[in-house]
Amino acid sequence: MRYVRFKKVGEIDPDILQQNSQYIAGLMDGEGSFSIISNPKRLYFRPLLALAMNHEETIKFVADKFGVDSKPILRKRKSHVEGEAGTTAKTTYVTRVFVEDDIVKVLTTLLPSLITKKRQAQLILEFIRTKQQFSGTKARRDLLLKLGEIYVQVRRLNPKGRRFDYDKWHKQFDEAIRRMQ
């Protein structure tokens, strides 16, 4: 999938989010993504919530509740129809929450209703709180080690998608940590 820039377009209304929390939690359990973006060479981590599906109206509904926009993305997939060769193109609609304070609001509201991805949500909240706890301190190395540990836990809970080379990631991460000293 190509990179698409998403914008924050409004504030999250906690009452409206709460009223729709069970529905949205069900969507996030099934089609959502609770992840952390990482660049181990630059010691960069960023939490991200995303929801992608083919139904534009549903994505726009959720994006509105999250205070963000949504984008159509054309995805090419191999045909799964027997006897049909080649690829098919389908428009997938995506929305993402990337502002940490908004992620905390969303996850705190959805957490009681999440089932399948409850642990990922808990880890993302732990990640953000850990980052905030260390904010402004000199303990950068300790913070990065803890964030790296949470990142790996989240990756292990999200086995689908691109194959992840844990050894390569750890090697790059450890190298970058050593360069800090």
Residue 3: inside a domain, yes or no? no
What is the dihedral sign for C-alpha 78, 84, 90, 94? negative
Residue 8: inside a domain, yes or no? no
Residue 114: inside a domain, yes or no? yes
Domain assignment of residue 119, given as a range: 14-180
- The CATH number given to whatever domain includes residue 154 is 3.10.28.10
In this structure, are strands 44-53 and 70-78 parallel, antiparallel, or unpaired? unpaired
Residue 37: inside a domain, yes or no? yes
Q: Is 43 left (phi over 0), alpha (psi -120 to 50) or beta?
A: left
Residue 7: inside a domain, yes or no? no
Q: What is residue 104's predicted lDDT score, i.e. its pLDDT? A: 95
In this structure, are strands 87-97 and 44-53 parallel, antiparallel, or unpaired? antiparallel
Residue 131: inside a domain, yes or no? yes
Residue 158: inside a domain, yes or no? yes
In terms of residues, how long is the chain? 181
Residue 5: inside a domain, yes or no? no
| Domains contained in the chain, number | 1
Which of 63, 67, 69, 62 shows the shortest CA–CA distance to 24?
Answer: 62
Q: What is residue 141's predicted lDDT score, i.e. its pLDDT? A: 82
Mean pLDDT, the chain cut into blocks of 10 residues (181 residues total): 56 87 95 92 90 91 85 67 64 89 94 96 96 72 90 87 80 87 69
Rounded to an integer, what distance in angstroms lies between the CA atom of residue 181 and that of residue 176? 9
